[in-house]
Amino acid sequence: MINFNELGLIEPLLRAVAAEGYRAPTPVQARAIPPAIRGRDILGVAQTGTGKTAAFTLPILQRLEASSRPLERYSPRALVLTPTRELAIQISESIQTYGRNVKQYHTVIFGGVGQQPQVSELRKGVDTLVATPGRLLDLMNQGFVYLDQVEIFVLDEADRMLDMGFIHDVRKIVTELPHSRQTLFFSATMPSAITSLAENILRDYEHIEITPTATTVDRVEQRVLFVEKSKKRKLLCELFGDHKIERAIVFTRTKHGANRVAKFLGQSGVSCNAIHGDKSQSARQRALSAFKDGKLRALIATDIASRGIDVHNVSHVINFDLPSEPESYVHRIGRTARAGADGMALSFCAEDEINYLHDIERVVRQQIEVDKDHTFHDDRIAMSHAEQSKNGRRKTSSGGRANNRGNGGRRRRQNRRIRTRR
């Protein structure tokens, strides 16, 4: 096993990494950092939780440190584009952590607040700008951000950009970048539209593929609990009677569902809060911080809001509603079993979700073990699932196939910034 000293990182970065207690790089870090430091473009296919944030923040810091070019107003030297504000904050925190021993400035912008403090910060000049697409385009259109000096461009979570309807914004932003830039492109999956985008913006790139979708779940113990829809909340309450569930993320399909589950759990004595797109930025940050600090036992989240949640020691992921797209299931359960730890994923399945479960089992290439050891087990639903699996056919459920791109099709300006100058 190699260590960080073998990746070609400069001493100030090695000290910062060591201070965090990291000794061995993750596979994506070991494969991406050396060529990125040498200036190669990178196409990285990697899930969240694999350490990919450090795989691009460390090369950014090192390459900019080697350059003596002075900062210019409104003109960042590196741009990291990411789909959600939570993920933008996470990346900003990584830059702050790994860049503690170098003299570089960075800031992160996303919408929801007045722009004047952002403009003031950009006016001073920053080495690295972390941004979500909507607010970045707003400030570019007003002449407060210029991308002609960008040396390194990172596109993170490209597939989620597509899901959220940001792909056209991304293309507009790319047209403003210099042709001579270095590009680091990361995506958990590679649908055709993302493959096409990558081929258009990468040159002579290093292709790195870490943990294909079907193997990202290896460290997560998975169980499915068959239950009538009307009894899901009672089942959830019963589960939280088990103190082995120390810190859990509970996923719902809708924002209203998240609010209802949070209210019910709270009334049952479980410390919790909901996080979704209708919550104000300050409310979302308070909930996430309380969850990270251990003040909340449960965080109730929707799929879009969950991106960027990077919390260690999440013991359980509970799918209160199964997602209509199987890839979302993989993303969800990836919130546990992070940083080499193990985790447990419990999924509720009502009768109208059997088709979703079939899709998920095809993607993860395994039949998920059934947990019958709960008060609300519904053997009729379990038998229906088993029969359909045995016959290899799919009946149309009463719920049909939901279109999970409804929210993604509407461009969501869920951006804002925080100030991170040192």
Quick one: pLDDT band at residue 343, thresholds 50, 70, 90? confident
**pLDDT (0 to 100) of residue 328:** 76
- Alpha carbons within 13 A on the beta-carbon side of 399: 19
**Res. 135: pLDDT tops 70:** yes
* pLDDT value at residue 173: 98
φ/ψ of residue 415, rounded to 5: -125, 155
Residue with the larger pLDDT of the pair 309 and 417: 309
pLDDT value at residue 240: 96
> In 3D, which of 402, 372, 370 has the Cα closest to residue 386?
370
The rounded distance, in Å, linking the Cα atoms of 420 and 422 is 6
Q: Average pLDDT in the 198-206 region?
A: 95
* Residues 215 and 336 sit within 8 Å (Cβ to Cβ): no
What domains does the chain contain, in order, with CATH numbers? 4-211 (3.40.50.300), 214-391 (3.40.50.300)
Amino acid sitting at position 147: L
Mean pLDDT across 5-26: 91
Convert the pLDDT of each residue in 292-316 to its tens digit. 899 999 999 987 666 556 777 889 9
Burial 183-200 (b: 16+ CB within 10 A, else e): bbbbbbbbeeebeebbee
* Closest of 319, 348, 324, 347 to residue 401, by C-alpha: 324
Residue 175 banded pLDDT, cuts 50, 70, 90: very high
CB atoms within 10 A of CB 267: 9
Residues 204-263: pLDDT tens digits?
999 999 855 445 566 789 999 999 999 999 999 999 999 899 999 999 988 899 999 999
SS3 label, residue 303: helix
Q: Quote the pLDDT of residue 339.
A: 55
pLDDT of residue 90: 81
What's the pLDDT at 304? 67
Q: How confident is the model at residue 282 (pLDDT cuts 50, 70, 90)?
A: confident
Residue 87 has what pLDDT?
82
Say what the pLDDT of residue 311 is. Answer: 77
Q: Can you point out the beta strands (E) in 174-291? A: 182-187, 205-209, 220-226, 248-251, 272-275
Q: How much is the pLDDT for 215?
A: 52
22 within 8 A of 98, measured Cβ to Cβ: no
- Token couple for 367: 């039949």
pLDDT band of 422, cuts 50, 70, 90: very low
Percentage of the chain surpassing pLDDT 70? Answer: 87
**Residue 264 main-chain phi, psi, to 5 deg:** -65, -45
pLDDT of residue 323: 86
Q: What tokens were used for 329?
A: 């299931």
Mean pLDDT of the chain: 86
What is the model's pLDDT at position 13? 97
Strand order in the sheet with 343-349: 272-275, 298-301, 248-251, 316-319, 343-349, 220-226, 369-370
**Cα–Cα distance, 383 to 276 (Å, whole number):** 34
**pLDDT given for residue 414 in this prediction:** 33
Helix (H) or strand (E) holding 130: strand 128-131
Question: Which tokens sit at 208?
Answer: 């790195």
